[in-house]
Amino acid sequence: MPRATPSSKSKRSPPKASRRGAGHTHTVVYDVSKQLRTPKEMAAYLEAWLVEAPDDAAGISRALGDIARAVGMSKVAKQSGLSRESLYKALSEDGNPSLDTILRVARAVGVRFHASAA
């Protein structure tokens, strides 16, 4: 009977610390929502998007999505009256949320939009 050989997809243990410096780079996915801890940080983040990229509707809605993830999508869904699934979809990179959705989410996460003369 032939001997079983390990598959090429076998799990490998992570490299030892002594080998990391030998040309191996360890990268992680950056998630800005983990950095948004206080309401002031959340408001400043959204304000930066509004000031720096006022015509980037997709970027602004993604920023609002980052804030919603920082607060917690379940909590935002409950407070906004929208489903978690519709929030994820609307606030994703390909989403196109309505003004009603944006205002509901903003209210739920505790930020406000302000108007000023251009």
pLDDT at 69: 95
**Maximum distance among all Cα pairs of the chain, rounded to whole angstroms:** 82
With respect to residue 41, please indicate whether it lies within any of the assigned structural domains.
Answer: yes
Place of tokens 């980037």: 56
With respect to residue 102, please indicate whether it lies within any of the assigned structural domains.
Answer: yes
Q: Which of 50, 26, 58 is nearest to 111 (CA)?
A: 50
pLDDT digits (tens, 9 = 90+) for 38-60: 999 999 999 999 999 999 999 99
pLDDT at 116: 83
Look up the domain containing 80 and give its range: 32-109
Torsion of CA 9, 13, 14, 20, to 10 degrees: -110
pLDDT at 47: 95
Tally of domains in the chain = 1
With respect to residue 16, please indicate whether it lies within any of the assigned structural domains.
Answer: no
pLDDT at 17: 55
CA distances from 98 to 95, 101, 102, 107 (A): 10, 5, 6, 14
With respect to residue 17, please indicate whether it lies within any of the assigned structural domains.
Answer: no
pLDDT at 117: 86
**CA dist., res. 44 & res. 31, Å (int):** 17
| Other CB atoms within 10 A of residue 38 CB | 9
With respect to residue 26, please indicate whether it lies within any of the assigned structural domains.
Answer: no
With respect to residue 75, please indicate whether it lies within any of the assigned structural domains.
Answer: yes
Residues of the chain falling short of pLDDT 70: 1-22
